[in-house]
């Protein structure tokens, strides 16, 4: 079952604009991660934010986490055509000690028009 | 430093057949997880292997089985293929080690399986 749900499902912007994607989840988590996927190929890890963190930056990426609302947002600033991809949030589910798996949402398809 | 590799890239099978997909983890990683991604959906966790044992399993039938070898590489086997098994199968590796788990998982390019 899907844990996270990204919003919007699709987003189309012009190059240079900022893109914001949101993710909501249902259960308590240890960490939340964002991944990018180009054209149905492998996922690229973008950023991890721990449950005790509220904001994290990496280059043009800014991620926020609100555990009280069970939500996260990914902001891409000064977007480029190369940022066109699907973006997924993934939450961890820690069980049985240190076993670990990721639960993904359905993703946001971002299109950056040149 | 080689990343996660998967083979084959594409595969076409017929209903009822069996398939084996292979994955080599990123150098230094000891844990392999497999995910199934249907078209337009996010990846779904199948199972995870560490120390050659299945450590956790998602909501997939017993037709899905796996194996991890001493060199940490892994195989995913699917028996009695159904049309609904058509998907992109992703392998992800991570380092767990003796002190517990690390959270970043590195994904391979995937194997596109089509069942006709």
pLDDT tens profile A52-111: 999 999 999 999 999 999 999 999 999 999 999 999 999 986 655 555 688 898 999 999
Residues of A near B (Cβ–Cβ under 8 Å) read 1-2, 4, 30-31, 33, 35, 40-45, 48, 88, 90, 92, 94-96, 98-107
Give A-chain residues touching B106 at CB under 8 angstroms: 45
Cα–Cα distance between A93 and A101 in angstroms, integer? 6
Task: Name the minimum distance, in Å, from the CA of A5 to any CA of chain B.
Answer: 10
Task: Name the minimum distance, in Å, from the CA of A80 to any CA of chain B.
Answer: 23
Burial of residue A111 (number of CB atoms within 10 Å: 0-12, 13-18, 19+): middle
Beta carbons within 10 angstroms of residue B91's beta carbon: 29
Which residues on adjacent β-strands are paired with residue A89? A34
Tokens of A62: 């800014």
Give B-chain residues touching A45 at CB under 8 angstroms: 104-107
Phi and psi at residue A82, to the nearest 5°: -70, -10
Best CA proximity match to A90, nearest among B103, B77, B96, B113: B103
Instruction: Note down pLDDT in tens along chain B; length 116 residues.
Output: 679 999 999 999 999 999 999 999 999 999 999 999 999 899 999 999 999 999 889 999 999 999 999 999 999 999 999 999 999 999 999 887 666 666 688 999 999 999 99
């Amino acid at each position: 079952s899907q844990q996270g749900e990204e919003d919007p499902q699709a987003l189309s912007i012009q190059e240079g604009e900022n893109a914001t994607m949101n993710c909501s989840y249902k259960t308590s988590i240890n960490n939340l991660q964002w991944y990018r996927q180009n054209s149905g190929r492998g996922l690229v890890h973008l950023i991890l934010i721990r449950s005790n963190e509220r904001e994290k930056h990496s280059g043009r990426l800014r991620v926020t986490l609100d555990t009280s609302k069970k939500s996260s947002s990914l902001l891409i600033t000064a977007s480029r055509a190369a940022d066109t991809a699907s973006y997924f949030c993934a939450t961890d589910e820690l069980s049985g000690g240190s076993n670990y798996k990721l639960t993904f949402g359905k993703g946001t398809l971002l299109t950056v028009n040149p | 430093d080689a990343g996660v590799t998967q083979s084959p890239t594409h595969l076409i099978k017929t209903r009822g057949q069996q398939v084996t997909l292979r994955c080599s983890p990123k150098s230094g990683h000891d844990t392999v997880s497999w995910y199934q991604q249907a078209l337009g959906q996010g990846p779904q966790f199948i199972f995870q292997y560490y120390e050659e044992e299945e450590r956790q399993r998602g909501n997939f039938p017993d037709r899905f089985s796996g194996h991890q070898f001493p060199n940490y590489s892994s195989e995913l086997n699917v028996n009695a293929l159904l049309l609904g098994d058509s998907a992109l199968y992703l392998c992800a590796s991570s380092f767990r080690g003796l002190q517990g788990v690390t959270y970043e998982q590195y994904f391979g390019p995937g194997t596109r399986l089509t069942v006709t």
